[in-house]
């Protein structure tokens, strides 16, 4: 794409600010039937554990007002199968698009184990960064406890940091009273950046059956319904930690949604649930951002954090590229 | 249409056929192609309507039109019915694995409720490729008012139609599973079925006991994407390895003997 869309998020040089979010993009090759992977600034793989997981019983999804609940249960092929079957194919397709592998474990020690596997296989996998999923709300003994309790959270991030020199982005849960201390903790432990937000806890009840719809009862809420929540936390984290790189996530469906995250302070965004409904969501958002930048004669980098300039006269920077 | 194409097409016709059941029809764009048993994800191209798409089996492809037989069960299936002609609808597809069409002298289709949907196109295709074959439809509903009139399809597409209702208000009293005796054990028959889970489970057992081997069921599950990413549409696998399969990729047409009912 064009230079006005180029951005950097910490150590990641991105051709554009649109990434595909974990859990909504398979391992990178699932959308090849619709458009080329190389269009994206980057993508994040489905959460990988050391061992494969079958995931939760059905039903696993439910539609809500402007969104959906899921309780997939982190079904994944396991690290070995990813390295053997998925990574080579995806690397052949991705061009300049950055690959971020998302990892998790059922306890802080397992985060260290999976990070050590990523480090050991990094020359084969050729990923550009690791995203640490401490905040998936579906696994009883895992993500939720870790992502919502600062002690375990710190322990998990520390173990990942000790195991790999790859850039680390910690994906933060919104299911806490304040996300900022978790972002601060991630930065303290040496993470290069944060991704926020993951899904919000939610439940839907079938009033005829008088029982929860999802097989596991509760699940994670995503989609346009959570857009303001994600924008809020990105804004707050940016205000508290202006130097910390941020990947903004949560409910992005249109290019204007993406722009909200960028203006709140994210250097780049991840598009998730929207891709289920509109497989062209990522390229559509990219095209919209490009048109907007062209019409305003600005570059994406110039609008990052723009909404923080409250009270200042907003001067539109001139794009000269 | 290439496999997995995304198109936004104007709704051309909505036709009510029975209580709560209607056809949604579109003009086939250039290059449109799909096979019986394929499905499409239909959704609103604008925010604000039902958020997720709905998987719908291709109902029929005839002349320059194609359509979906839909039952309004709330949410998106009720919302589609309210749309005026000309409304844009996003269609992703064709998706999934369609019906195999083995050469047989008899093709037996068994439909429960809105499970009738895929059989118009399947019968139309079989009629064209195997003109000498006999095509039978066994079609059950709870009551007479839900029965979709088959109009010219009866005779043109189906040589025999046997109707069933739970309450006996139309056709034979009972379910389609009760009405197979004359054909069970026929080694020349290929079987196709679509309908509620309980019906399919009972039918799978019945056909298995009768030794039927050429059996294909079109199943339904909740799904968010339709192309293998969301991982919602799991079907428990009889062999247990893997534990689950994804209906959108391995189905929606499956051999019932591979399913852990």
pLDDT tens across A180-213, in order? 999 999 999 999 999 999 999 999 999 999 999 9
Q: CB contact, 8 Å: B224 with chain A?
A: yes
Please check whether residues B76 and B145 belong to one and the same domain: no
Domain span at residue A40 reads 3-56+73-204+221-308
Per-residue DSSP letter, A82: I
Please say if the pLDDT value at position B226 is more than 80. yes
Q: Which of B58, B153, B162, B56 is nearest to B108 (CA)?
A: B162
Question: Does B206 fall in a domain?
Answer: yes
B1 vs A23, which has greater pLDDT? Answer: A23
Domain total of chain B: 2
Domain total of chain A: 1
* Predicted confidence band of residue B1 (pLDDT cuts 50, 70, 90): very low
* Predicted confidence band of residue A143 (pLDDT cuts 50, 70, 90): very low
B52–A63 CB contact, under 8 Å: yes
Q: Can you tell me the mean pLDDT for B43-65?
A: 91
Q: Which of A1, A86, A11, A6 is nearest to A38 (CA)?
A: A1
Residues in A touching B3 (Cβ below 8 Å): 33
* Predicted confidence band of residue A263 (pLDDT cuts 50, 70, 90): very high
What CATH number corresponds to the domain at position B133? 3.40.50.80
Q: Provide the pLDDT for residue B2.
A: 44
Length of chain B: 261
| Residue of B4, B223, B231, B239 best to disrupt the A interface, most CBs of A under 10 A | B231
Question: Does B188 fall in a domain?
Answer: yes
A63–B50 CB contact, under 8 Å: yes
Question: Does A65 fall in a domain?
Answer: no
Q: Provide the pLDDT for residue B149.
A: 87
Q: Provide the pLDDT for residue B152.
A: 82
Q: Provide the pLDDT for residue B48.
A: 65
Tell me the residues of chain B between 117 and 156 that have a Cβ less than 8 Å away from chain A: none
Please check whether residues B122 and B192 belong to one and the same domain: yes
Q: Residue B151 in contact with residue B123, Cβ under 8 Å?
A: no
Per-residue pLDDT tens digits for A66-94: 999 999 999 999 999 999 999 999 999 99
Please say if the pLDDT value at position B215 is more than 90. yes
Q: CB contact, 8 Å: B88 with chain A?
A: no
Question: Does B244 fall in a domain?
Answer: no
* Predicted confidence band of residue A129 (pLDDT cuts 50, 70, 90): very high
The β-bridge relationship of strands A67-70 and B88-95 is: unpaired
Residue at which a domain ends, from B67, B95, B123: B95
Output b/e per residue, A53-85; b: 16+ Cβ within 10 A: bebbebbbbbbbebbbbbbbbbbbbebeebbee
Residues 6+ away with beta carbon under 8 Å from A193? A9, A10, A167, A168, A169, A170, A244, A245, A246, A247
Nearest-angstrom CA–CA distance, B247 and B261: 14
Name the β-bridge partners of A61: A70
Question: Does A82 fall in a domain?
Answer: yes
Please check whether residues B55 and B141 belong to one and the same domain: no
Q: Provide the pLDDT for residue A138.
A: 45
Question: Does A187 fall in a domain?
Answer: yes
A64–B43 CB contact, under 8 Å: no
Residues in B touching A68 (Cβ below 8 Å): 51-52, 224
Sign of the alpha-carbon torsion through B118, B123, B128, B129: positive
Q: Can you tell me the mean pLDDT for A110-119?
A: 97
ipTM over 0.90: yes
Question: Does B223 fall in a domain?
Answer: no
Question: Does B153 fall in a domain?
Answer: yes
Q: Provide the pLDDT for residue A94.
A: 96
A68–B223 CB contact, under 8 Å: no
What CATH number corresponds to the domain at position A102? 3.20.20.70
Q: Which residues of A are catalytic?
A: 136
Domain span at residue B130 reads 106-218
Question: Does A297 fall in a domain?
Answer: yes
| Residue of B43, B76, B225, B260 best to disrupt the A interface, most CBs of A under 10 A | B225
Please check whether residues B90 and B116 belong to one and the same domain: no
Choose among B51, B75, B242: nearest Cβ to A223. B51
Question: Does B247 fall in a domain?
Answer: no
Question: Does A210 fall in a domain?
Answer: no
Instruction: Show the tokens assigned to A132.
Output: 């640490």
Question: Does A63 fall in a domain?
Answer: no
Please say if the pLDDT value at position B122 is more than 50. yes
Please say if the pLDDT value at position A313 is more than 60. no
Q: CB contact, 8 Å: A78 with chain B?
A: no
- pLDDT over 70 percentage in chain B: 98
Mean of the per-residue pLDDT values of chain A: 93
Strand, coil or helix: A321:
coil
Q: Provide the pLDDT for residue A281.
A: 97
Question: Does A68 fall in a domain?
Answer: no
Mean of the per-residue pLDDT values of chain B: 93
Residue at which a domain ends, from B72, B95, B118: B95
Question: Does A230 fall in a domain?
Answer: yes
């Amino acid at each position: 794409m064009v230079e006005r869309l180029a951005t950097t998020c910490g150590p990641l040089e991105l051709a554009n600010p649109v990434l595909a979010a974990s859990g909504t993009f398979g391992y990178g090759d699932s959308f090849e039937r619709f458009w080329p992977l190389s269009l994206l600034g980057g993508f994040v793989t489905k959460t990988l554990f050391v061992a494969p997981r079958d995931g939760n019983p059905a039903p696993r999804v439910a539609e809500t007002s402007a969104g959906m609940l899921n309780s997939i249960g982190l079904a994944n092929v396991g690290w070995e199968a990813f390295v053997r079957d998925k990574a080579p194919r995806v690397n052949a397709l991705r061009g300049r698009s950055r690959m971020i592998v998302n990892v998790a474990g059922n306890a802080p020690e397992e985060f260290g184990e999976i990070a050590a596997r990523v480090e050991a296989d990094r020359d084969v996998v050729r990923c550009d960064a690791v995203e640490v999923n401490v905040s998936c709300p579906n696994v009883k003994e895992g993500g939720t406890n870790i992502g919502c309790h600062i002690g375990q959270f710190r322990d998990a991030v520390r173990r990942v940091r000790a195991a790999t020199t790859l850039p680390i982005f910690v994906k933060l849960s919104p299911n806490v009273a304040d996300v900022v201390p978790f972002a601060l903790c991630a930065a303290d432990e040496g993470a290069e950046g944060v991704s926020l937000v993951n899904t919000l806890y939610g439940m839907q009840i079938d009033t005829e059956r008088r029982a929860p719809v999802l097989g596991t009862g509760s699940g994670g809420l995503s989609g346009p319904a959570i857009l303001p929540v994600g924008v809020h936390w990105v804004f707050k984290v940016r205000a508290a930690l202006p130097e910390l790189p941020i990947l903004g996530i949560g409910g992005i469906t249109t290019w204007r949604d993406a722009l909200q995250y960028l203006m709140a302070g994210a250097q780049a965004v991840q598009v998730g649930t929207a891709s289920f409904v509109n497989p062209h969501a990522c390229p559509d958002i990219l095209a919209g951002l490009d048109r907007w930048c062209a019409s305003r004669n600005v570059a994406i980098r110039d609008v990052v954090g723009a909404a923080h300039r409250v009270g200042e006269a907003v001067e539109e920077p001139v794009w000269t590229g | 249409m290439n496999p997995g194409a995304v198109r936004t097409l104007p709704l051309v016709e909505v036709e009510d056929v029975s209580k709560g059941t209607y056809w949604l029809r579109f003009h086939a764009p250039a290059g449109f192609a799909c096979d019986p048993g394929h499905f499409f994800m239909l959704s609103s191209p604008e925010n604000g309507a039902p958020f997720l798409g709905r998987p719908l089996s291709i109902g029929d492809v005839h002349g320059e039109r194609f359509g979906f037989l839909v039952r309004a069960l709330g949410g998106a299936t009720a919302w589609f019915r309210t749309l005026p002609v000309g409304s844009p609808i996003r269609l992703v597809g064709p998706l999934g694995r369609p019906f195999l069409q083995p050469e047989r002298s008899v093709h037996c289709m068994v439909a429960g409720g809105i499970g009738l949907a895929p059989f118009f196109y399947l019968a139309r295709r079989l009629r064209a490729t195997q003109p000498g074959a006999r095509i039978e439809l066994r079609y059950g509903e709870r009551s007479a008012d839900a029965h979709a009139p088959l109009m010219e399809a009866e005779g043109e597409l189906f040589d025999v139609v046997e109707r069933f209702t739970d309450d006996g208000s139309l056709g034979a009293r009972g379910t389609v599973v009760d009405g197979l005796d004359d054909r069970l054990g026929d080694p020349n028959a290929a079987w196709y079925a679509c309908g509620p889970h309980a019906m399919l489970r009972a039918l799978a057992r019945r056909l298995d006991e009768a030794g039927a081997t050429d059996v294909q069921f079109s199943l339904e599950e909740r799904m968010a994407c339709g192309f293998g990413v969301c991982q919602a549409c799991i079907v428990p696998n009889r062999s247990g390895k893997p534990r689950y399969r994804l209906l959108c990729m391995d189905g929606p047409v499956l051999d019932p003997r591979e399913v852990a009912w």
